[in-house]
Amino acid sequence: MKISFRYIIVMSAVLGTTACSLTRNVPKDDALYTGAIVSVEDSTLTQKEKKNVEELTAGLPRPKPNSRFLGIPFKLILFNLGGDPQKGGFIRRFFHKAGEPPVLLSRLHPDYNVQLLQNYLQNNGYLQAEGSGNVIRKKRKAKAHYTLTPGPLYTLGSIQYDPDSATAAIGKEIAGAFRRSLLKPGDPFRLDVIRDERVRIDSRLKYRGYFYFNPDYLLFNADSTVGRHRVDLHLVVKKGVPEKALKPYIISDVYIYPDYQLSESGEDTARPHTHPFGGYFIEDPAKKFKPSLFQRILLFDSGAVYNLRDHNASLSRLISLDVFKFVKNRFEFVEDNKSDTGRLNAYYYLTPRQKKSLSFQLSGNTKSNNFVGSEIRFTFRNRNTFRAAEHLDLYVNAGTEVQYSGFQEGFNSYKLGGGINFTFPKFVIPFFPINTKNSFVPKTVFNLSYELLNRQKLYTLNSFKSEVGYNWKPNLYVEHELKPVSINFVEATNVTNIYRDSLLSNPLLKYAINTQYILGSNYSYTINRMIRKPKGTGIYFNAIGDVSGNIAGVFASANAVGKKELFGSAFDQYVKSQFDFRYYQAFGKNVQLASRSIIGIGYPYGNSERLPFVKQFFTGGTNSIRAFRSRSVGPGSFRDERSDSQGFFPDQGGDIKLELNTEFRFKINKILEPAVFVDAGNIWLMNEDTNQPGGRFSKAFLKELAAGAGVGLRLDFSILLFRLDVAIPFRKPWLPPGERWVFDQIDFSDKDWRRRNLILNLAIGYPF
């Protein structure tokens, strides 16, 4: 690699200069606060225990010093580059906003931090903890030093519950809750675990009808005098708890107002026009909704025991219908005759959304193969087509792609399309009524669409698609999507002589215009553990199964060349699966390592020698291996140089795919997020193809991986994230074995090398 040391010297000088000026904007009578050191001095603790205490308390002292990356306070350096913060100017404001002002010693309060550290240790089992602190100042920088003497760690001894402190019914429920207690004898005494245990018991009671109970009614008496540094806990129900909090509740009546307006009073329980239906009273004079909708969606009905899970799930199900702008409910105590169970009336106030709407969407895209495009889409939506929250979407779209550089002559394209989606908030299965009881309403989707793609001077593709699908979620993290019927018919027309002549020298071009007739089914299973993970740590997994022609092949008859046909056309036959696994690891608030691996396998059989073009795997491009242009890698060690010389868009597809990506992201501020990434992968054919030598999958597939790396910058504007990535190839699989690593060819000063190897990717959103 040819690198100029001049740049290294310049950068070193810049960093050295800025490092020496970290205190530039610190007042003369103050100092730059560089952080705190927490040390443990206690002869009763082992070295491991001391280290554990230091790790627990290291991040507690306030204020926090200026953030650092690799030991360098980049944000403080940026702020200082802006000069005097009292002066104006665009450049100064930019650096001040992108940077971070110095954290000053005057903000430090050592006594407060000592008390904070002591309280934290005492709440975590070190009941005899003591501490002290002092400030170490050197010139215009200062740091704090805190010394802790934790003393012995107290652990839990016996944990008992006094059933005589409550009624027999609730006492039995609390006693039953202890079977799964968070508190275990021998565990450290921790105040936060005790609080969590109170909340857990309260939730269990809420699930069993105790609507008016709350965690504050539970009291843990702690005895730390039993010896051997143990604490015995004794749980009681406080005295003076209201009588209505000690009994379970049954739902008496359910009242629903599906056309409620916010200007009305939610406390108005007058019901002059409500109509009973299936255990509900529904006030809907205009008959905007079918009563059966609420019978299917709500999990509460008359006579049911109140349950917090059903309470929350019912609200979530109403919101997920996407027909109500606001959803709220309340419960009203019903006076009774002092029985062992109470009664509640439930009220649901639902403000509907606008039933019909027309939306407009304009989008743009750019590809690493020197194409830019835009698309416009109009969608008409009816959110309540048959008065049971059925969604009807009618849409039309038009788009274009223009080649702006790179090839000898342009082959621009445009597309027109439209379709209809019908979504039912339930499983539509003849003779098998199925409903779910969780927070997510299942959906059945019927789709019919058409798209025309015209590649000027080449060909026109007509694509017809029809699908029936089901979508459901058993919980927040898992989603299933099943399409038992998926029909896709793609046919090429108006193939030009230019393209036909090119087929003689490049037979690979035929795959783009082959008729594709897919009669199949597909299933998708997704786990997304990034939800509720604002710190950026979690996993994502998606598995897809796709088959075509397996059932049709049983009933179809063969034509003259031995291929099975249905309605006069040969259909595709294959089995395909893909697995996409992603792991995200956060290091602090603003640093994240994201990794992805994709494995795809397709097995064509019968009528098909390879997967149909719309189902093939591709690699390269803005969301794939970014050091190579879109769809230009593989299969295997094959390289088609002719497509570049002819000016055609490279469409190298395959039946097998392996891709690995990793990306290191770190935020400078709310908007700027640089990244460093490495990508590798390739595609292969399942069967040998003489037109693509080296494309078949073999045991040497690891030696045929393409690889590249680069740097990127993301601009996060909240409503969208704009991404710019620049990458270069490190490994080219089409080169002879032993010559595929190309580190020695990297030369940024060579204009021709930059043109062929420096790949710019512009996109919206993260690549994964």
Give the pLDDT confidence score for residue 117 in this predicted structure. 95
Q: Is 319 helix (H, G, I), strand (E, B) or coil?
A: helix
pLDDT of 28 higher than 90: no
Tell me the per-residue pLDDT of 521-559, one tens digit each, with 9 for 90 and over.
Answer: 999 999 999 865 556 889 999 999 999 988 877 677 777
Average pLDDT, the chain: 87
Give the pLDDT confidence score for residue 408 in this predicted structure. 45
Tell me the per-residue pLDDT of 72-107, one tens digit each, with 9 for 90 and over.
Answer: 888 888 888 888 877 778 888 888 888 889 999 999
Tell me the per-residue pLDDT of 190-243, one tens digit each, with 9 for 90 and over.
Answer: 999 999 999 999 999 999 999 999 999 999 999 999 889 999 999 999 988 998
Give the pLDDT confidence score for residue 646 in this predicted structure. 46
Peptide bond into 63 cis (omega under 30): yes
Distance, CA of 176 to chain centre = 37
pLDDT of 14 higher than 60: no
Give the pLDDT confidence score for residue 141 in this predicted structure. 92
pLDDT of 164 higher than 60: yes
Give the pLDDT confidence score for residue 453 in this predicted structure. 92
pLDDT of 568 higher than 90: no
Distance, CA of 186 to chain centre = 38
Place of tokens 């919101």: 319
* Rounded mean pLDDT, 700-720: 92
Give the pLDDT confidence score for residue 448 in this predicted structure. 97
- How buried is residue 49: exposed, middle or buried, by Cβ count under 10 Å (0-12/13-18/19+)? middle
Angle (deg, nearest 10), helices 308-320 and 191-207: 80
The one-letter amino acid at 53: V
* pTM confidence score: 0.82
Q: Which of 164-178, 323-337, 386-400, 580-594 has the highest mean pLDDT?
A: 386-400
The angle at the Cα of 40, spanning 39 to 45, to the nearest 5 degrees, equals 155
Cα separation, 594 vs 666, in Å, equals 11
* Tokens matching residue 24: 């530039």
Are residues 419 and 395 in contact, defined by beta-carbon separation less than 8 angstroms? yes
- How buried is residue 634: exposed, middle or buried, by Cβ count under 10 Å (0-12/13-18/19+)? buried
Count of beta carbons in the 10 Å neighbourhood of residue 112: 12
Give the pLDDT confidence score for residue 412 in this predicted structure. 82
Peptide bond into 635 cis (omega under 30): yes
Cα separation, 177 vs 192, in Å, equals 18
Could you tell me if residue 670 is left (phi over 0), alpha (psi between -120 and 50 degrees) or otherwise beta?
alpha
Q: What are the Cα distances from residue 521, in Å, to 262, 469, 542, 576, 616?
A: 45, 9, 17, 11, 16
Give the pLDDT confidence score for residue 68 in this predicted structure. 85
Cα separation, 216 vs 206, in Å, equals 14
pLDDT of 762 higher than 50: yes
| Residue, of 305 and 338, whose pLDDT is higher | 305
Domains of the chain and CATH, by start: 5-149 (no CATH), 155-246 (3.10.20.310), 249-352 (3.10.20.310), 616-768 (2.40.160.50)
pLDDT of 15 higher than 70: no
C-alpha closest to that of 706 among 599, 596, 628:
628
Q: Is 367 helix (H, G, I), strand (E, B) or coil?
A: coil
What share of the chain has pLDDT > 70, as a percent? 91
Query: What are the residues whose beta carbons fall under 8 Å from the beta carbon of 66, sequence distance 6 or more?
Result: 32, 34, 73, 75, 76, 100, 102, 103
